[in-house]
Amino acid sequence: MKNIQLLFLTSLFGILSSCTNTEKADGYGNFEATEIIVSSEANGKLLFLSLDEGQLLEEGAIVGLIDTLQLHLNKQQLKATKATVASKSGGVWSQLGVLEQELLTAKTEQDRIQQMFSENAATQRQLEQADSRVEVLKKQMKNIATQNEPIVNELKAMDAKVAQISDQILKSAIVNPINGTVLSKYAEPSEIVSYGKPLYKIADIEEMILRVYVSETQLAAIKIGQEVTVKIDDGDAMKTYSGIVNWISASAEFTPKIIQTKEERVNLVYAVKITVKNDGSLKIGMPAEMWITSSEN
């Protein structure tokens, strides 16, 4: 009986010693990724949206299209109106062309009379008439040019409207902004969408960001560019990854509630971001541990 009690106490002491010596990670946190919600930049019927949740998309790929028929018709109408207005301007420019030719002739005659007057071969009246003719033609050209200004301004306004519609047509094509994986899909073909309506969510999860929190006493052991060990649960064991510290917060904050015990949550800690290459097992929101020095599981 004494032997059994001794064996029990020895085993209990071994268990307690093992628990006491259990190593703790240097930081705890969750994986993040930069998520982008792609929204509609046009109004109309969604003709197609070729993507599914979990699908890998390349940057610049056209994944959808919003109906552009009405925009195209408005653009054609504006171009026709512009051609009509431009024809009015063409008539004004024709008049200016005629007046410019007459002004050139009048100036030649003015120079000739001026030369003759200096040689006493022309009268003062002839010189005044030549000068008057030049001034009259200049005023006529100025008046006609003034009449053309509203037409030119109207043409400029139409050019701006055409450019605006062209931009709307361009934005009716849904272009994927980054290389990444589709996380959520919010719309389906044939739906009527409006400007700003979310269509899908995408994130680049090839490299994940683990945000962990460390105490002030641990800061001296961490620096940007340092390689650390990251561990996640893998059944009864832990799966290990290599990570690189790429950001350390410059100011302290209270430990997030999801990280530590109630007593530890009141402590001030510093946030640290660690880049980890994803082998497909890492997911957004997954908890993980950070070890400054590697240890055996």
Closest CA to 286 of 245, 228, 238: 238
DSSP assigned state of 34: -
| DSSP β-bridge partners for residue 239 | 232
The CATH class, in words, for 37-67+175-200 is mainly beta
State residue 232's pLDDT score.
95
- The identity of residue 123, as a single letter, is T
State residue 62's pLDDT score.
97
State residue 296's pLDDT score.
47
What would the two tokens of residue 272 be? 């640290």
Q: Could you name the CATH architecture of 27-33+205-292?
A: Beta Barrel (2.40)
State residue 6's pLDDT score.
38
Question: What's the pLDDT band for 224 if we cut at 50, 70, 90?
Answer: very high
Question: Quick check: 228 and 292 in contact, CB under 8 A?
Answer: yes
Helix (H, G, I), strand (E, B) or coil at 186: coil
Q: Which residues 6+ apart lie within 8 Å of 35 measured at CB? A: 183, 201, 202, 203, 284
Question: What's the pLDDT band for 193 if we cut at 50, 70, 90?
Answer: very high
**pLDDT 10s digits, 250-259:** 888 876 655 5
**pLDDT 10s digits, 107-148:** 888 888 888 888 888 888 888 888 888 888 888 777 777 777
Cα angle 287-290-295, degrees, rounded to a multiple of 5: 120
Residue, of 231 and 131, whose pLDDT is higher: 231
State residue 91's pLDDT score.
64
Residue, of 65 and 11, whose pLDDT is higher: 65
pTM for the model: 0.67
Residue 157 to residue 166: CA distance in whole angstroms: 14
State residue 74's pLDDT score.
95
The secondary structure of the chain in percent helix, strand, coil, rounded to multiples of 5, reads: 40, 30, 30
Residue, of 117 and 37, whose pLDDT is higher: 37
Category of 41 on φ-ψ map: left (φ > 0), alpha (ψ -120 to 50) or beta: alpha
Residue 16 has pLDDT above 50, yes or no: no
State residue 246's pLDDT score.
94
